A and B are shown apart, each in its own frame.
Chain A
Amino acid sequence: MPEPREHLLRRRGPTSELSRRRFLRASASTAIALPSLSAVLAACSKPGTEAPEGATAPAGTTGPYPLARTDNPVTLPIHDDIQPIEDNLPVETGATLKIYNWADYMWKKVINDFCEEFNCDYEWTTFNNMSEAIQKMSTGQVADVFFPTVDQLGKLTYGKLLQPLNLSYIPNLAANMWPQYQNPFYDQEARYTVPYTTYTTGVAYRRDVIPDEEAEAQGYDLIWNPQYSGKVGIYDDARESLAMAMRRAGVDDVNTTDEATIQAAKDDLVELIDLVNVRTTINGVYVKLPDGVYDVHQSWSGDIIGAQWYLSDLNTPGETDILGYWYPPDNVGVVGNDVISIPANAEHPVLAHAFLNFMMDETHAFDNFTWNGYQPPLTSMNPEKLIEAEMGAYAPNKGPGTVPPSVPRAVVTEEMFDKGMWLLELAPEDELKWQTAWEEFQAGAGA
């Protein structure tokens, strides 16, 4: 008996395009983030853009802090007033672990297992985007564990919102995770983060409409193919969508600050409006592609794996065959991973360390993967075994049968990450170029 579909996932944002949570939030807030009391008081005294006390720029950097790149690894600072916890402290018992995470990005069963093992309760709070999360974190939101994206780590650590990890509590990092995560370029020495999930960004398609050979031949051009007009979607995400246009044009730097390159990518996206009547979605891959609303959609690997739970008849062998996923055959494409960290104001830091370690345990990490479709970077995760042998083999906690055989490229491998391109933090003035280009596309500029 398959698990109910509703338990399925999203990597980012609400379950639906417009979740009730988001609707209520939007209705109540006049669509503008109202400042917190502290921000109000700060503004009363002195307006300006200032780093928190002590958050000074390292010598030799031009911005407020260095930006991580694969060829320019960064070691995040450890502040005098926010030190890692001591070794050998007892785990807090009877505590309530406060988890601050994306909506629908973790299987509750895994958290329950943790609480059972460590005799604790948990409080689950969600955010819909990093902007909202950081705003709340910086204005006093208390949490024990937090799930940021890699491109926000500079801001979070120089802004003193995270605490350094004591890796002696997290042996599973060294024991179970890919070698590159022992010393990731965005957080050398794994000072603040451990990996949570990995993903690639490719193109999802319906195999009953588009044969694999055609998808292989077209690649990114599937999105620009007028044959599928009206049934083409891209993510409602400036960085991902513009980066896809850049990769299609052969641009190697997906963190470019070159105005002309960004504008060219925007023009390519604008072309989609008339060419294929493109739509921007967040749940298009896993909810609507299985329904036939889309034939082609830009896709995170985890979304296409999750899409199987939205098919109408899971008990029919071969049903998942309609799902297809293309990722560049040379493995040079956009990749990414999310991380888990511990906020500076965590009330139960030892329990939080235990949670990080728990989430990198093979069984629990795999459990979570079977639920949300996003693959943890476990060294023991054999790509071959992830692909199910036949329909109905789905079996949480037991191993094989998680990835439909029709989407083998959705399995993330270390090689993909060796060659992959991350979407990383940009300086505010450069980020504005991307944001402006995206706004122009969203406004239908020039279409």
Chain B
Amino acid sequence: MSEPEEGTTTPSRREARRVRRASAKQRGAWYPRWFWPSFATPAIVWQILFFAASFYVILAIAFGTQDFFRNPLPVFQPWWWDFSTFTDQLGRIFGGVYQDVYLRTFGYVLTASLTCLLIGYPIAYFVARYGGRRKGLFLALLIMPFWISYLMRMYAWQSLLERDGYVNDVLTFLQVFQEPFGWLEGHGITVVIGLVYGYMPYLILPLYGQLDRIDQSQLEAGRDLGASPARTFWRVTLPLSKPGILAGLIIITLPMFGDYYTNALLSQSPRTTMIGNLIDLTYVTPGLAAQGASLVLTIVVILIVPMLWYLRYTARAAEAK
């Protein structure tokens, strides 16, 4: 039964509460009502400053104007917003010159995400189930790539994928190719390889966390009820690891959509331009800030759909518990 509101409490109840509070204070277990919620303050301030306010600035630039120097001049009053640049950009995305870039980006991100899952799941599964005492070591090995900056790792890939690089050496030795393949000469597959390599650990770590939390007794129950190992995996492990799969996919998919440096370092061909590259182009070109901000908004709209779906899924899962 919930406690009556402060204003409606009777004097005796108020007295009882005062006594309880005094007793709690004596035990050192009393905190004012604002104490625990105040712990959220840093996160709230962070969100306001670096998400809400920043996002509003992007809106103000997308619907704003520019100054004499062609710098972006944000317009913060919605009644002065000019939507012409944004609608122009939408026209270019749907049926215009950007359409192929958007479809291509979707294709790359989808392919790279699924490849990450196909490779990452067995790794996470192995570490969670068979890591034993060496789990810590395996996790350290998974995190190890982060010791080196992403940029450096992509430069390393440039070296590996050169015509006379090690990748071609191995592939020609194994007779996969008769001639060295020009990996860096503007191919979508190279960009996808770069994305898979760059984002894989981000998928494995949450997936590992989820798999590690699966109660062993549930797997044993599946086996005791006569399910084969494959069926146990399919009916028990996989469904239970779904939150981890979704979290991992969300974590890698969101930044992949905005990624521009993987393509810039491993391809540089207009054939493989992604949305992030278009945004980068508007950044370095005078007077195109509103165009760039409009493209950022389109990415936000694209990404908000899977994000909302994920939130809904996790909310339902929490309710089910």
Measured CB to CB, the residues of A under 8 A from B are 17-18, 20, 23, 26, 30-35, 39-40, 42-44, 47-52, 55, 64, 128-132, 134-135, 138-139, 155, 158-159, 230-231, 233, 236, 238, 270, 273, 277-281, 291-293, 428, 431-432, 435, 438-445, 447
**Which of A30, A48, A49, A139 is most buried by chain B, counting CB atoms within 10 A of its CB?**
A30
Does A35 lie within 8 Å of B286, measured CB to CB?
A: no
Measured CB to CB, the residues of B under 8 A from A are 54, 57-58, 60-61, 64-77, 80, 97-98, 100-101, 149, 151, 162-163, 182, 184-186, 258, 260-261, 264-265, 267-271, 273, 276-281, 283-289, 292-293, 296
**Which residues of chain A have C-beta atoms less than 8 A from B73's C-beta?**
35, 39, 42-43, 47-49
Contacts A17-B265, A134-B69, A134-B286; is A31 near B292 (CB within 8 Å)?
yes
Does A431 lie within 8 Å of B286, measured CB to CB?
A: yes
Does B100 lie within 8 Å of A443, measured CB to CB?
A: yes
User: Of A17, A18, A47, A231, which contacts B185 at CB under 8 A?
Assistant: A231
User: Of A40, A52, A444, which contacts B273 at CB under 8 A?
Assistant: A444
A20 to chain B, nearest CB (A): 6
User: Of A43, A64, A238, which contacts B74 at CB under 8 A?
Assistant: A43
**Which residues of chain A have C-beta atoms less than 8 A from B258's C-beta?**
31
Does B71 lie within 8 Å of A431, measured CB to CB?
A: no
User: Of A20, A35, A270, A278, which contacts B72 at CB under 8 A?
Assistant: A35
Does B67 lie within 8 Å of A42, measured CB to CB?
A: yes
27 A-B pairs, CB-CB below 8 angstroms?
A26-B260, A30-B296, A31-B258, A31-B276, A33-B283, A34-B54, A35-B57, A35-B73, A39-B72, A43-B74, A43-B75, A47-B65, A47-B77, A49-B68, A50-B68, A138-B71, A155-B68, A230-B186, A279-B186, A293-B184, A428-B287, A432-B287, A439-B278, A442-B278, A443-B270, A444-B100, A444-B101
**Which residues of chain B have C-beta atoms less than 8 A from A39's C-beta?**
67, 71-74
**Which residues of chain B have C-beta atoms less than 8 A from A31's C-beta?**
258, 260, 276, 279-280, 283, 292, 296
User: Of B58, B182, B267, B278, which contacts A32 at CB under 8 A?
Assistant: B58
**Which residues of chain A have C-beta atoms less than 8 A from B67's C-beta?**
39, 42, 49-50, 138
Q: How far is the CA of A375 from the CA of B308 in the complex (A)?
A: 57
10 closest cross-chain pairs (CB), A and B? A230-B185, A279-B268, A444-B270, A47-B75, A131-B286, A445-B97, A51-B68, A138-B69, A31-B279, A230-B182
**Which residues of chain B have C-beta atoms less than 8 A from A431's C-beta?**
286-287
Does A281 lie within 8 Å of B268, measured CB to CB?
A: yes
**Which residues of chain A have C-beta atoms less than 8 A from B279's C-beta?**
31-32
Q: How far is the CA of A124 from the CA of B97 in the complex (A)?
A: 41
Q: How far is the CA of A50 from the CA of B74 in the complex (A)?
A: 14
Q: How far is the CA of A31 from the CA of B71 in the complex (A)?
A: 14
Does B292 lie within 8 Å of A32, measured CB to CB?
A: yes
**Which residues of chain B have C-beta atoms less than 8 A from A280's C-beta?**
268-270
**Which residues of chain A have C-beta atoms less than 8 A from B65's C-beta?**
47-49
Does B287 lie within 8 Å of A238, measured CB to CB?
A: no
Does A32 lie within 8 Å of B283, measured CB to CB?
A: yes
Does A279 lie within 8 Å of B57, measured CB to CB?
A: no
A417 to chain B, nearest CB (A): 26
Does B271 lie within 8 Å of A447, measured CB to CB?
A: yes
**Which residues of chain B have C-beta atoms less than 8 A from A445's C-beta?**
97, 100
**Which residues of chain A have C-beta atoms less than 8 A from B271's C-beta?**
273, 277, 444, 447
Besides the known contacts A444-B101, A444-B270, 4 further A-B residue pairs in the complex with CB atoms under 8 A apart:
A32-B293, A43-B76, A51-B68, A292-B163
Nearest to B187 among chain A residues (CB) is A277
User: Of A40, A131, A134, which contacts B284 at CB under 8 A?
Assistant: A131
Does B61 lie within 8 Å of A49, measured CB to CB?
A: no
Does B270 lie within 8 Å of A442, measured CB to CB?
A: yes
Q: How far is the CA of A35 from the CA of B77 in the complex (A)?
A: 15
Does A18 lie within 8 Å of B69, measured CB to CB?
A: no
Does B71 lie within 8 Å of A139, measured CB to CB?
A: yes
Nearest to B81 among chain A residues (CB) is A47
**Which residues of chain A have C-beta atoms less than 8 A from B284's C-beta?**
128-129, 131-132
User: Of B69, B101, B182, B278, which contacts A135 at CB under 8 A?
Assistant: B69
Does A435 lie within 8 Å of B97, measured CB to CB?
A: no
Q: How far is the CA of A236 from the CA of B264 in the complex (A)?
A: 11
A242 to chain B, nearest CB (A): 13
Q: How far is the CA of A158 from the CA of B68 in the complex (A)?
A: 9
Does B71 lie within 8 Å of A35, measured CB to CB?
A: yes
Does A32 lie within 8 Å of B296, measured CB to CB?
A: yes
**Which residues of chain A have C-beta atoms less than 8 A from B98's C-beta?**
443
Q: How far is the CA of A322 from the CA of B262 in the complex (A)?
A: 31
**Which residues of chain A have C-beta atoms less than 8 A from B286's C-beta?**
130-131, 134, 431
**Which of A33, A49, A230, A443 is most buried by chain B, counting CB atoms within 10 A of its CB?**
A443
Nearest to A269 among chain B residues (CB) is B270
**Which residues of chain B have C-beta atoms less than 8 A from A18's C-beta?**
151, 261, 264-265
Q: How far is the CA of A440 from the CA of B73 in the complex (A)?
A: 25
**Which residues of chain B have C-beta atoms less than 8 A from A50's C-beta?**
67-68
Does A49 lie within 8 Å of B100, measured CB to CB?
A: no
**Which residues of chain A have C-beta atoms less than 8 A from B70's C-beta?**
131, 134, 155, 428
Does A44 lie within 8 Å of B273, measured CB to CB?
A: no
Q: How far is the CA of A132 from the CA of B265 in the complex (A)?
A: 22
Does B186 lie within 8 Å of A442, measured CB to CB?
A: no
Does A441 lie within 8 Å of B296, measured CB to CB?
A: no
Does B268 lie within 8 Å of A238, measured CB to CB?
A: no
B191 to chain A, nearest CB (A): 13
User: Of A20, A30, A139, A236, which contacts B54 at CB under 8 A?
Assistant: A30
User: Of A42, A64, A438, A442, which contacts B277 at CB under 8 A?
Assistant: A442
**Which residues of chain B have C-beta atoms less than 8 A from A292's C-beta?**
163
Contacts A47-B80, A443-B273; is A435 near B264 (CB within 8 Å)?
no
